[in-house]
Amino acid sequence: MATPPLSLKGRALRLLGAREHSRAELERKLTQHEEEPGSLAKALDELQAKGFINEQRVLESVLHRRSAKLGTTRIRQELQAKGLAPEAVLEAVEQLRATEVERAREVWRKKFGEPPADAAERGKQMRFLASRGFGGDAIRRVVSGGADD
């Protein structure tokens, strides 16, 4: 016997059970399952009213999961892609900037652990940190004085 298809609310709850999602993410993922116009917005309104969708929790979740491995630039891109309020993203970015050098140093230490031997190695280390979204100033400080904490 076939199981009935999940309702929009059921699909949203399944997604929310895996991790925090912003309203914009849920809309993007569930639009294809909407059978009558307005039903998705209504379902998401209900979930938001009950506290299942919470933009602040999404923001905190991303910061908690990603800040140890990624720089401010990459985290800002992720938060913007989730459709979070620009003011909230800006505030989070300001908080991250305060710890950018320490976080970059920790990522660098785990990957390399010792100062570059030559210019090629220095470039490699700098490109690695840049690919993780760390800013140029933080990268220069970490790679130049990698050993001094």
- pLDDT tens for the 149 residues of the chain, in order: 666 778 889 999 999 999 999 999 999 999 999 888 999 999 999 999 999 999 999 999 999 999 999 999 999 999 999 999 999 999 999 999 999 999 999 999 999 999 999 999 999 999 999 999 999 999 999 998 744 44
CA–CA–CA angle 143, 146, 149 (5° rounding): 140
pTM exceeds cut of 0.85: no
**Predicted pLDDT at 12:** 93
Residue 79: which residues within 8 A CB-CB, separation 6 or more? 59, 62, 88, 89, 92, 93
**Predicted pLDDT at 55:** 94
Question: Rg of the Cα trace of the chain?
Answer: 20
Burial 119-132 (b: 16+ CB within 10 A, else e): eeeeeebbebbeeb
Q: Which residue reads 């470039």 in tokens? A: 123
Q: Which amino acid is at 91?
A: E
